[in-house]
């Protein structure tokens, strides 16, 4: 219980400002009815409890597991195994990301089903997995990260001119939602774990950057989906 309460200041700093703004607007700008106010306050309590549990879960589960897998996989001496594991883990972790599900649901509603939610989740997950795999290969080969970003964003700019207009904003939002509470800690830990066991690699300059590279994949993936779908 004491370990759980260690995260209370973090949760309070995240929830209290939002709650305060809503209560200020309720009091002076746009009053809510009693039921709506009660539901909001109840929701804030549930979110606070959920964040406490989530942060503890990340600390005790996701981060150690990611670092352990990242540091143990290279010991097998197989680049193919490391890259394959990075690909699969990137896909699976993204599929579990709540933000991706929310985006897919909203896009499905607004597009009236023309952009399927399940298809969008799959494309985004494949994009993240492919780019996590590429980012791990960058760490192994020691390629400067600037080259990855230059090529990735040039490809995005080129695709944005030929992709159907309604897919372009969805693609950029897809890149944003992948940096959510499930994918970020796991992928970060994976990169740091891999960099820490490779000779001549820095945990800072090589271990970080996976999230930035991973966020490129969904943008490219959704744009390609738009080209295929017409």
H-assigned helices in 111-200: 117-141, 145-162, 168-177, 183-197
Cβ neighbours of residue 8 closer than 8 Å, sequence gap 6 or more: 52
Mean pLDDT over residues 85-95, rounded? 89
92 CB contacts (<8 Å, ≥6 apart)?
Answer: 125
- Which contiguous run of DSSP H or E holds residue 154? helix 145-162
pLDDT value, residue 223 = 93
Q: Chain-wide mean pLDDT for the chain? A: 84
Q: Per-residue pLDDT averaged across 168-172, rounded?
A: 92
Contact of 23 with 32, CB cutoff 8 Å = no
Q: How far apart are CA 198 and CA 82, in angstroms?
A: 12
**pLDDT band per the 50, 70, 90 thresholds, residue 128:** very high
| pLDDT at residue 172 tops 90 | yes
Region of 209 please: left (phi>0), alpha (psi -120 to 50) or beta: left
Residue 183 half-sphere exposure, CB side, CA atoms within 13 Å? 32
Percent of the chain with pLDDT over 90: 19
Asked whether 225 and 174 are in contact (CB, 8 A), the reply is: no
Residue 162 has pLDDT above 80, yes or no: yes
| In the chain, where the domains are located | 1-60, 77-229
Residue 161 pLDDT > 80: yes
Say if residue 143's pLDDT is above 70.
Answer: yes
83 or 75, greater pLDDT: 83
Q: Which residues does 129 contact at the CB level (< 8 Å), separation at least 6? A: 86, 87, 88, 89, 90, 91, 94, 217
Other CB atoms within a 10 A radius of the CB of residue 158 amount to: 11
């Amino acid at each position: 219980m004491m370990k759980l309460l260690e995260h209370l200041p973090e949760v309070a700093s995240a929830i209290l400002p939002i709650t305060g703004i809503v209560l200020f607007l309720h009091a002076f700008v746009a009053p809510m009815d009693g039921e709506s106010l009660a539901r909001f306050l109840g929701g804030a309590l549930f979110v606070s409890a959920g964040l406490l549990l989530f942060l503890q879960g990340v600390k005790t589960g996701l981060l150690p597991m990611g670092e352990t897998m990242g540091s143990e996989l290279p010991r097998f001496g197989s680049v193919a195994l490391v890259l394959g594991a990075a690909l699969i883990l990137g896909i699976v972790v993204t599929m579990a990301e709540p933000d991706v599900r929310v985006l897919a649901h909203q896009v499905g509603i607004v597009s009236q089903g023309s952009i399927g939610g399940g298809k969008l989740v799959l494309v985004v997950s494949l994009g993240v997995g492919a780019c996590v795999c590429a980012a791990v290969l960058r760490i192994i080969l020691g390629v400067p990260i600037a080259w990855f970003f230059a090529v990735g964003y040039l490809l995005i700019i080129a695709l944005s001119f030929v992709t159907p207009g309604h897919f372009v904003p969805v693609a950029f939002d897809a890149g944003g939602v992948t940096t959510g509470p499930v994918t970020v800690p796991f992928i970060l830990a994976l990169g740091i774990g891999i960099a820490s066991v490779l000779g001549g690699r820095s945990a800072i300059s090589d271990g970080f950057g996976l999230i930035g590279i991973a966020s490129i994949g969904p943008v490219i993936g959704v744009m390609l989906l738009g080209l295929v779908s017409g």
